[in-house]
Structure 1
Amino acid sequence: MKNHLLIFTAIATIIASSCKNENKREEFEVIAPEEADIMQSDVNSPEIGCYRYVSKKDTVLLQMEKMNDEVAGTLSYNYFEKDKNDGVFEGKMVGDTLFADYTFGSEGSVSVREVMFVKKENKFVEGFGEVEEVDGKMKFKKKTKYTFNDSMPLKEIDCDEN
């Protein structure tokens, strides 16, 4: 009888502890995050920006995507009584300055020139300096002094305004 009581107590203890473990599992149930949450947190999205200068007769439009310090986009110059330039650019942000190669069509030919813009608050201001032709591209000379056209700032706009 003593053995039966001992066996019964052991079985009751095992059953009771397994019931407690089942309850603990339910209390600590882990809910997996939704797939959209994983995609947003694990993948860097590019920063997208649009900037425009408009006067009575002139328009400059810059649209860009920035991923880390790499930048790419489109750039369009439409000056009164001059040929319109439309093209694409690829480059880098170095601090607050964008340096890029701008490939554009004008007067029926394709050209490449280096462009430079400095970001000031929510505007980009184009910089100019001495250039030279290197491998078919117009590039800024080393150690050139830049001048900035503050009279034509490209102001940030909503990209849907284009």
Structure 2
Amino acid sequence: MKTSILIGMTLASAALYSCSQNNGATNKQPEKPISTTCYMAIDGKDTARMELNQFSKNMGGNLVINFAKKDNNNGTIEGKFKGDTLYVDYIFKVGKDKQAHMNPLAFLKKDGKLIMGVGKMESTLGRTYFRKDVPIDFVQGRFTFIPVPCKK
């Protein structure tokens, strides 16, 4: 009799446990941005446009770089501010290439503008990042992004 009760309780527990599992599926809606700012930068004949969304814990958006003499870069950015510097991962495609690439980018926020920095990079296990022992140079950067009205 005790064995029957124990087996019944075990089966009921297993059934309740499996019903409470969502198998990785979530009904969570994507977080809406707190604010969105659009930026544009020009360097000679090359231009760049960024839409930057502020979320509760991070930043994200789109970045398109149009080069005059080579294929454009089109992708997304995601990262965080550390002090006055925005560090992001830029996941992008070059031209019509279907292969996605990822590079780190850093932007110094100064006087309402975002200045793209240049730094020494290295890769480990397929991940590229800025070297910690070499400071990022914001004077040598090609693009200084200024706020512009967002396109609808």
> What is the TM-score when the length of structure 1 is the normalising length?
0.66
CA deviations 1:67-124 (Å, max 9, x no partner) are 2440000111112102210000110011221101110001512111111001111211
Distance 2:79 2:33 in 1: 18
Distance 1:96 1:69, change over 3 A: farther
With over 3 angstroms needed to count, the CA separation of the structure-2 counterparts of 1:100 and 1:122, relative to structure 1, is: same
Query: Could you tell me how far apart the structure 2 residues matched to 1:66 and 1:117 are?
Result: 15
Structure 2 match to 1:141: 131
- Which of 63, 79, 82 aligns to 2:70? It is 82
Once superposed, which parts of structure 1, at least 4 consecutive aligned residues long, lie more than 6 Å away? none
| Residue in structure 2 matched with residue 91 of structure 1 by the alignment | 79
Structure with bigger RCO (C-alpha 8 Å, 6+ apart): 2
Structure number having the greater helix percentage: 1
The alignment's TM-score, normalised by the length of structure 2, stands at 0.70
Shift of 1:152: 3.0
CA distance, structure 2, for counterparts of residue 156 and residue 100 of structure 1: 18
Gaps of 5+ in 1: 1-43
SS of residue in 1 equivalent to 2:117: strand
Which residue does the alignment assign to 1:61? Answer: 49
Deviation at 1:151, TM superposition (A): 5.8
Root-mean-square deviation (CA), in Å?
Answer: 2.0
Q: Any stretches of 5+ residues in structure 2 without a counterpart?
A: 1-31
Identify the residue that residue 119 of structure 2 maps to in structure 1: 129
Give the structure with higher Rg (CA): 1
